[in-house]
Structure formats: structure tokens, C-alpha cells
Amino acid sequence: MKNSSLVNQEIRVGIADYKVAYSPDTLITLGLGSCVGIVIYDYKLKIGGMSHIMLPDSRQFNRVTNPLKFADLAIPQLLEKLISMGGGKSRFRAKIAGGAQMFSFADSTTLNIGERNIAKVKEVLKDMQIALTAAEVGGNIGRTMIFHSETGKVFIRSAGKTPRELREEPWTLANSRVR
């Protein structure tokens, strides 16, 4: 439902969830460790959505009780919702954050869920032809992701650091379609 009061509402996105927002609302998700936060934004209509995914691929499980846990299922659902709100696929841009390796393991390639989440999110966005214009991923710190639908800006907050804008890279604006 469109925010007709034009009062900025802060909408929280839980783990294994997604939410959408009309301008001037703000979306926020906390606790991005190995999880990845994805924002998809229509810059003309000033609408967007945020998903907080936990795992890369639902096909590794026999029974999926919450499809929003998985990059391969949550991103298409979020995109479908934004299109139903009037969003134009050619105007969508994506920004991502998270995918940290919060713990060290002897077998880091198998257990590095953050790295696998990042790779799958990028793959799904590319397959759906959504431009990925900014990312702050990896490392070993948790993050909070904040999306302002009025401006399309995304800010990242992490422990002990000042919130910072997740800026679009100049080359991504010139090539607004993922190839």
C-alpha cells in the first residue's frame, strides 16, 4: 500500500524476509553476517524492496518451508512484487551487502556460506538482468543495511564505525544492464 501520508516510515526486514517501500519510506535490516541483504530500486518511481537471504540455493534441500531464506527463490519473488507495484525492469538497480565469514573453520571453502551467498546473489541478479551497481560484501564484520526509497541511497552501519553510503560505481551507471 502506497504511503499517502508522506511521513517517512521505517520498515524492518527480518531474516529470511523481504519488504517493499514507496517513497519516502525507509527499509532496514539488521544482522547481516553471512547473510546477504539485497536492495532492488526503481529510480523513476522511487519504489524499492529489500530482501535478507540466509542461504544460496534451495535445491540443496528436500523440503523448503520458507522460500525467502534462499537467494534463488527470494530475489525473483521480490522482483515480481516490485513489477506488480508498477516498477520497470529496465529501471531496476541492485545494491548488496553482507556475506561475511564470521567464523574460521578448517574447511573454509565448504563452510564459507557468506562467499557462497554472495556468488549466488550475483548469479541470480545477472540471470534476471538486474544491474548490480554497488556492493559491500565479504570480510568478517556484521552489517546493518538501510535503504531510503526517496533517494535510492543505501547506508551501511557496522560496529564501531560511522554509517557510510554504499555508493554506485560510475561504470555501473554507464552500463546499467548486467551483461
Check residue 168 and give its pLDDT.
84
CA torsion sign for 50, 101, 57, 61 is negative
Tell me the three cell numbers of residue 77: 519473488
The model's pTM: 0.89
Q: 93, exposed or middle or buried, with CB in 10 Å at 0-12, 13-18, 19+?
A: buried
Check residue 97 and give its pLDDT.
97
CATH domain 10-174 topology: 60s Ribosomal Protein L30; Chain: A; (3.30.1330)
| Helix residue spans in the chain (DSSP H) | 71-84, 108-111, 113-127, 170-174
**Spatial separation of the C-alpha atoms in residues 44 and 83, rounded to whole Å:** 13
Map out the domains of the chain as residue ranges: 10-174
Residue 23 · residue 47 · CB < 8 Å: yes
pLDDT in tens, the chain (179 residues): 565 556 789 999 999 999 999 999 999 999 999 999 999 999 999 999 999 999 999 998 889 999 999 999 999 999 999 999 999 999 999 999 999 998 766 555 557 899 999 999 999 999 999 999 999 999 999 999 999 999 999 999 998 888 999 998 765 554 554 43
Tell me the three cell numbers of residue 98: 553482507
**Spatial separation of the C-alpha atoms in residues 156 and 166, rounded to whole Å:** 7
